[in-house]
Amino acid sequence: MPATSTLNGIQEMARLTAKATQKASEYTATELWGNVRENSPTDHGRLAGSWQLRGSGTHKHLIYTNLTYARFQNDGTGIYGPKRREITPVRAKVLAFEWNGKMVFAKSVKGVQGKKYIEKSIEQTEDRRKEFVEMAFEDVGLL
């Protein structure tokens, strides 16, 4: 006598598993977005409030900002940045900028140390990845 089986149960489990992995991906992206906003350096809060989250396909999410200085705050500039040298004027004799309400003139500046807030945010999110998978599987009824 031949053995027969229906795939209905397996197909339903596969569908629910796919749904759960998408939910886990969304939970992870939302957590990372929140962590980046929370860990962004705040002077006026402009950077922290500028981060956007956009889904860009199955299991893909994009967290971005249009502020060009976000990279400099994260990675550093001058001797602390990728070029590892002081910042000097290109077309003028001195750099001129406002600092704490006063005008400053300098032949060079060391730059700013990177805050590494993106890396910190990723690490915080990865620490919760298992939790998000469990939540997603519970949400779809697989746990």
Together in a domain, 46 and 89: no
Is pLDDT above 90 for 143? no
Q: Which residues pair with 104 in a beta bridge?
A: 97
How do residues 97-112 score in pLDDT, each as one tens digit?
Answer: 999 999 999 999 999 9
Average pLDDT, the chain: 94
pTM of structure: 0.85
- How many domains does the structure of the chain reveal? 2
Q: What is the 3-state secondary structure (H, E, C) of 39-104?
A: HCCCCCCCCHHHCEEEECCCCCEEEECCCCHHHHHHHECHHHCCCCCCECCCCCCCEEEEECCEEE
Q: Which residue has the higher pLDDT, 68 or 57?
A: 68
Q: Is 95 exposed, middle or buried (0-12, 13-18, 19+ CB in 10 A)?
A: middle
pLDDT band (50, 70, 90) for residue 45:
confident
Together in a domain, 59 and 18: yes
Together in a domain, 99 and 135: no
The whole-angstrom separation of Cα 70 and Cα 57 is 25
Together in a domain, 9 and 61: yes
Shortest CA distance to 125 belongs to which of 61, 69, 68, 81?
A: 61
Together in a domain, 93 and 139: no
What domain range is 62 assigned to?
A: 1-70+114-143
Together in a domain, 107 and 122: no
How many other CB atoms are there within 10 angstroms of residue 140's CB atom?
Answer: 16
pLDDT band (50, 70, 90) for residue 35:
very high
- Total residues belonging to the chain: 143
pLDDT over 70 for what percent of the chain?
94
Is pLDDT above 90 for 69? yes
Is pLDDT above 80 for 14? yes
